A and B are shown apart, each in its own frame.
Chain A
Amino acid sequence: MSTMKLFYRFYRQDLFASLSLFLISLPIAVGIAVASHAPPESGIISAIFGAIFYGIFSTSHVTLVGPAAGLCVFLAAAAQSIGAFSNVSSATVLAGTFLIILSKFKSHKIIDYAPQSVMRAMVCGIGLTLILKTVPYLIGYETEGRFSYIALGISAVCLTLAWISSTWENENGKHRRVPYAFLIILLGAGIAAVVARFFPALALTESQMLHLNPAQWELRASEFRPDQWLPTLKLSLMIMAVILLEGTVNRNVIQKFDPQRRPINHQHEMLLLGIGNVFMGLIGALPVMPILIRSTANLEFGSKTRLSAILQGIWLIAALVFSAMFQFIPMAAVAAVLVVVGFELIKFNEIREMFKRAKYDQIVPFAVTLVVILSVDLLWGILTGLAIGVFNSFKSAQHRSMVLVQDDEHYLLKFFKDVTFVHKSELKETLENIPEGKKVVIDGTGNIVVDSEIEDWLLEYQEEAAVQKKTVLFRTSSLAISKLFKVKAA
């Protein structure tokens, strides 16, 4: 058998997977670029680079890297303060640099310290913001009060189609991820063309259509604005944070789906993301990170090796070459695709589960983080959520740490867990409740560590208590860890 035939036989699945993948990546990449207030071609360039560079160099066979909805929300917001997208790109370069530095440390482990509820709120907040920001495109909003019924109509049709196909997908397991995105775009383009032909007065204006004319490429290399260094820095930190947190989570989730369970090197991946983003920022393209939905789609389309990702990149290059046809695509259709992506980020099932199980230690951080993300911004939201997580773990550290029991004149305060500064308040209250004239033994023996701060406080308490005629003794044993409770050497 000829080598061509062998090649085809072996990689056939990857070939087909790459084609389907291309069909959904293209509109999403463009949509994300538009939502980021970036030139549409920057999204495609990011998608191409992400697919090919990571397809070749990543240790993962199943993780797809490309422009992500999670980042576009604050890229757009930053454009207000920082200026043109080329200035925003300088933040991408910075973020990439930070990631390269971070890759030297085991920074992917930070995921283990972030509560799941906070991460979920982060992704959910991003999805919600994305949808909210996309609404103007859905209705063809131009200036104050002017919008287009046609755009509205197109959006309605496209969204309905998307909804139908997603419910159909869920029941019809095998046909998941039929390239609804591409069909929606086609349909939208079709409607717009028909309207332009037969009802020219109602036609969509040029700004309501997608521009992807190579002759009019606006791709600009990154330019740093020193006068806006603070917002740029802030943006770069947010980009870095999202890539670090959401990117690592996505990567971990996708790896679970790898049917061959091939291992990956997290630090290497982080380094690649750093390098890739520096390059993306320098040429003015969108930042890239591991993307969950398209990666799982890749697997569901039957991808077996990294070839499907690389081939997808090649199809995207071809699309760029023939991009003149994109000017027939109405923004409303692209917006519809984006809205669907946004919805998928929200993961209603998981949230419903969380509320159903009434796990308040998860619901509260989730809700608070989400509110802060929507009302302030992503970074503050994550910080708030993390603070709540830390607070919760304080509270659980206090749980059942000590017990006070009594028998006539004698009181015993026994420590069952390590005693640190978080226990000081409980300790004070417990001891102060002991009436006068009693004998108290404090037992910090056993495999328990008592903070030296607490030890000092206990000694002070012993002195004060003597005034109140309370005798305070410290039980000692040779097996104790803390000095206060250790038997003095003979």
Chain B
Amino acid sequence: MDSVKKLLLGNKAWAQSKTSLNANYFKDMARDQKPDHLWISCSDSRVPSNEVTSSDPGEMFVHRNIANLVVHTDLNILGVVQYAVEVLKVKHIIVCGHYNCGGIRAAMSPANLGVLNAWIRNIKDTFHKNTFEFEKITNETDRVNKLVELNVVQQVKNLSYMALVQKEWKTRGAPAIHGWVYDINTGIIKELMTIMPNDKIDAQYKYDL
């Protein structure tokens, strides 16, 4: 059986396992979504968002890209954030990176990746901005993991720099923005930092709302 066929059959099996206990499982879910969280993580196949958090369908609005980046000119993520924050009115945005990330690794090497170069350069900018952090770290794995963490912190800040997020803080006092890192060796998520609604943000990025 080829792998695509396996996916389709696997889907049938999964759907049946849900309805065999609750015949209305899908009907109930289809009505509407009211997730509390916007989850931004890496596209890596080993970090499935619902599984690692033991959460059910309907709990998280998900956006995944290479190295979980929030890029100011990326229409893709802008749309996701706007929908999540303004329409779905999520209470939390979570940026979850993971150790040993391929995109971070690529950013620390001179490899020429073609189209991906422009995307990865965003990470190189963070690397460059924080050179001093890497002076004492010599171990290759530790260096990669350090940049993983710095990258998450930067993306969290990027979210706070968005006018629509600051506006939402003013009107409804949400969402809180969390920076997490998933340790792919242990399966455990570590909290790095949190920006609560209306926390002080760098002055240059504040808007008149």
Contacts and interface: CB of A to CB of B under 8 A. Distances in A.
A411 B12 CA distance: 11
Interface residues of B, number: 13
A220 interface: no
Contacts of B10: 412, 414, 443
A203 interface: no
B40 to A, nearest CB: 25
Interface string A455-482: 0000000000000000001010000000
B17 A412 contact: no
A405, A406, A411, A416 pick with most chain B CB within 10 angstroms: A405
A443 B8 CA distance: 14
A400 B1 contact: no
Nearest to B12: A405
Contacts of A439: 1
A403, A404, A411 pick with most chain B CB within 10 angstroms: A403
A438 to B, nearest CB: 11
B20 A407 contact: no
A264 B119 CA distance: 63
Contact of A416 (B1, B9, B17): B17
A475 B1 CA distance: 10
Contacts of B128: none
Contacts of B12: 405-407, 412
Contacts of A406: 9, 12
B6 A405 contact: no
Nearest to B20: A400
B136 interface: no
B17 A410 contact: no
Given A412-B12, A441-B1, A475 B17 contact: no
A404 B1 CA distance: 15
Interface string B1-19: 1000110111011101100
B20 to A, nearest CB: 5
Interface string A381-425: 000000000000000000010011111001110101000000000
Secondary structure call for the A interface? strand
Contacts of A411: 9
A403 B20 contact: yes
B23 interface: no
Contacts of B30: none
A412 B1 CA distance: 10
B171 to A, nearest CB: 43
Contacts of A410: 1, 5, 9
Interface in B1-60: 1, 5-6, 8-10, 12-14, 16-17, 20-21
Interface residues of A, number: 16
Contacts of A414: 10, 13-14, 17
A155 B179 CA distance: 77
A405 B9 contact: yes
A405 B5 contact: no
A443 B6 CA distance: 10
B21 A400 contact: yes
B8 A407 contact: yes
A400 B17 CA distance: 7
A416 B18 CA distance: 11
A403 B13 CA distance: 6
A115 to B, nearest CB: 22
Contacts of B6: 412, 441, 475
A409 to B, nearest CB: 9
A412 B21 contact: no
B6, B9, B10, B16 pick with most chain A CB within 10 angstroms: B9
Contacts of B20: 400, 403
B19 to A, nearest CB: 10
B207 to A, nearest CB: 47
A410, A411, A475 pick with most chain B CB within 10 angstroms: A410
A403 B60 CA distance: 27
A400 to B, nearest CB: 5
A473 B16 contact: no
Contacts of A416: 17
Contacts of B17: 400, 403, 414, 416
A414 B7 CA distance: 12
Contacts of A404: 13
A416 B19 CA distance: 13
A404 B13 CA distance: 7
B56 to A, nearest CB: 15
A410 B16 CA distance: 16
A403 B20 CA distance: 9
A413 to B, nearest CB: 8
A405 B1 contact: no
B9 A412 contact: yes
Contacts of A405: 9, 12-13, 16
Interface string B113-128: 0000000000000000
A410 B12 CA distance: 12
A416 B20 CA distance: 12
6 contacts: A403-B13, A403-B16, A403-B17, A412-B13, A416-B17, A443-B10
Given A400-B17, A400-B21, A410-B1, 4 more contacts: A407-B8, A410-B5, A412-B6, A441-B1
